[in-house]
Chains A and B, each alone.
Chain A
């Protein structure tokens, strides 16, 4: 019965507008400023006025929904919520936003996200809010009491435990991870706003790059940038009358690994949030993975993309090394991934840039990197110790 109720969300809500700040290293702005700039562009994109917004799913950090309301002049904020799932937060925010507009709780919901991930909260060097200080939420207790004394404090280390085991059990080679990195970079060369445009990457470069935390090298890791994005969700009825072609939220779901607050304790370490979420979203959208024209995969680290692909059911466990080929996941292939360059080569915007890119692909606005005749696309999110979310979008 629960599934039947969920199915009623199918195509009830649309993405009506998307926007971003500039992607830089050294924004000189607050996170709120960056997110407001992205929000203003999303409003312009949708052809909406700031006071049309009456719901906000706020970012996991940097500002509150009330800060946005105060700046945008929203006198009657009818719906506010937060998703605390790290990098999965923006995709999962679409679920709450879709529910809010489908049931008339709000009419237009703003989903902003962004950070100064280079100039302020630089995770790789333990910057403020980075690995040097415990992250907020349920992870802090686990890390502080049981990981910190052994120096296991950074996401690249926690996910490396999963990657090491996968490589040893299934013979997954470094080249599979390298193919993810090289493909993202290749796609970024076709994206004018990608931070890594103009800096191509070869497999040889990848294999020669320095270790960060075995089995992850430098180019297994996403960028650190200052960047923000914003998405506006409204009802399908309203979206049809707005400036841009509506992009329908056909399926959306969240999932959490068990237990979510400790990686070592999991009975099966490769069962992640997306393992639970994916079947629900595909069922809601009434599509299968083979129907997808592209997939914007949360790519904090290369192996995390591979882990998610197995969890989505794109291939069987342990077979990702055969599934991931440059031909299949590159533009023009069977399932192009991260057509914008992703967190690896466009910018690290907590994956809200993946939603923005999917929306533009489905509107056929992507120029050189456009997936021909794209009709249905997937966006995934990954955060904290493996929380997951996904949205299946269609034009």
Chain B
């Protein structure tokens, strides 16, 4: 579902500051990683400075299995940012990973009107530019 070849990718790229830069650096290596508390082992996303469960400042980037399910979705019938116009209708979805964290992404091989709660999916990386790779998902078989 990449909206063009790498050199002409027109969609907004993630703003990669602080921990977001680290998250996407792992994506570039085709690893889906989330922060995990180094003391109590609680997974978390979005990234934080502290563990909300135990208060620890210590964390590691731990690799997710990349397997999850569809938690919810919406189907945009109009572009809320002009660059998305060619993709309408597109479906920003919430994916729940096996580790318990959830993230926003797309399921690239399921039509928006065929999405359903709980559909099993797995991560599929899309190298949209030489610098940026977006984690997307496809049906898990």
Contact = CB atoms under 8 A, between A and B. Distances in A.
A146 B103 contact: yes
Contacts of B11: 149, 151
Contacts of A263: 94
Nearest to A154: B80
A372 B75 CA distance: 42
Interface string A264-306: 1100010000000000000000000000000000000000000
Interface of B: 11-17, 20, 23, 44-46, 52, 71-82, 84, 87, 89-90, 92, 94, 101-106, 112, 116-117, 134
A214 to B, nearest CB: 4
12 contacts: A126-B80, A145-B14, A145-B15, A145-B23, A151-B87, A152-B104, A165-B71, A210-B77, A211-B89, A213-B77, A213-B78, A269-B72
A168 B118 CA distance: 11
B45 A144 contact: no
Given A126-B80, A265-B45, A144 B14 contact: yes
B87 to A, nearest CB: 7
A153 B20 contact: no
Contacts of B78: 124, 212-213
Given A152-B92, A152-B104, A265-B102, A142 B77 contact: no
A142 B15 CA distance: 9
A261 B3 CA distance: 28
Contacts of B104: 146-147, 150, 152, 264
B3 to A, nearest CB: 10
A160 interface: yes
- The 5 closest A-B CB pairs, nearest first, are A160-B74, A144-B15, A152-B92, A211-B77, A214-B75
Interface string A141-176: 110111111111110110011101100110000000
Nearest to A217: B77
B73 A265 contact: no
Given A152-B104, A265-B102, A164 B72 contact: yes
A244 to B, nearest CB: 42
A210 B77 CA distance: 9
A132 interface: yes
Given A151-B11, A162-B72, A214-B75, A142 B81 contact: no
A265 B97 CA distance: 11
A262 interface: yes
Nearest to A160: B74
Contacts of B74: 152, 156-157, 160-161, 164, 213-216
Given A161-B72, A264-B104, 17 more contacts: A141-B17, A142-B46, A145-B16, A145-B17, A150-B134, A151-B84, A154-B80, A164-B72, A169-B117, A211-B77, A211-B89, A212-B77, A213-B75, A213-B78, A214-B74, A259-B52, A261-B46
A370 interface: no
A325 interface: no
Contact of A164 (B44, B73, B106, B134): B73
B92 A147 contact: yes
A131 interface: yes
B46 A262 contact: yes
Nearest to B94: A264
Contacts of A264: 71, 94, 102-104
Contacts of B82: 126, 132
Contacts of A160: 74
A126 B71 CA distance: 27
Given A150-B106, A214-B112, A265 B80 contact: no
Given A126-B80, A210-B77, A264-B94, A148 B72 contact: no
Contact of A168 (B15, B75, B112, B116): B116
Contacts of B81: 126, 131-132, 148, 151, 153
Contacts of B87: 151
Interface in A229-284: 259, 261-265, 269
B20 A168 contact: no
Nearest to B95: A264
A262 B101 CA distance: 12
B134 A149 contact: yes
A157 B46 contact: no
Contacts of A161: 72-74, 92, 94
A108 B97 CA distance: 52
Given A149-B13, A152-B92, A262-B46, A157 B20 contact: no
A52 B77 CA distance: 50
Contact of A157 (B71, B76, B134): B76
